[in-house]
Amino acid sequence: MIVREYYILDPQTKRIRGTINANTKKMAFRPDGTTWWLMEHVDGILDNNLWMDIEEEIVIASCYLDPDKEIEFKIKEGCEEEFDFFMKNGYHKPLSEKSTA
């Protein structure tokens, strides 16, 4: 069984608040209709599942980007024109910041 490390992030700072070792993270529904995160096979133990509030921000450790780390983003060679188009037209902004014109 493959066990992956997941991080629970603080919603404001995006810093790691806790870790969970589990096989899979799934969105699951309980009989009452509520939505939850289901962490399956925690610590590699079959059917050792953990139900977590859907509001929790849980990411796989290999996808975590440390907010304190200085990173210089690079554009793939040959994609500069496409990148400039997306930046100019606001595709990089959250929906709330995009212009409605």
Of residues 55, 60, 61, 19, the one with CA closest to residue 37: 55
Instruction: Give the DSSP letter of residue 86.
Output: H
Confidence (pLDDT) at 25: 96
Tokens representing 96? 């709330």
User: For residue 94, what pLDDT is reported?
Assistant: 62
Q: Which amino acid is at 72?
A: E
At 26 the pLDDT is 95
Chunked into runs of 10 residues, the chain (101 residues) has average pLDDT values of: 95 92 95 95 94 94 85 78 82 57 48
Whether residue 54 contacts residue 36, with contact meaning beta carbons closer than 8 Å, is answered with yes
pTM equals 0.68
Please say whether the beta carbons of 20 and 8 come within 8 A: yes
Domain spans of the chain? 4-69
pLDDT of residue 100: 52
pLDDT at 61: 92
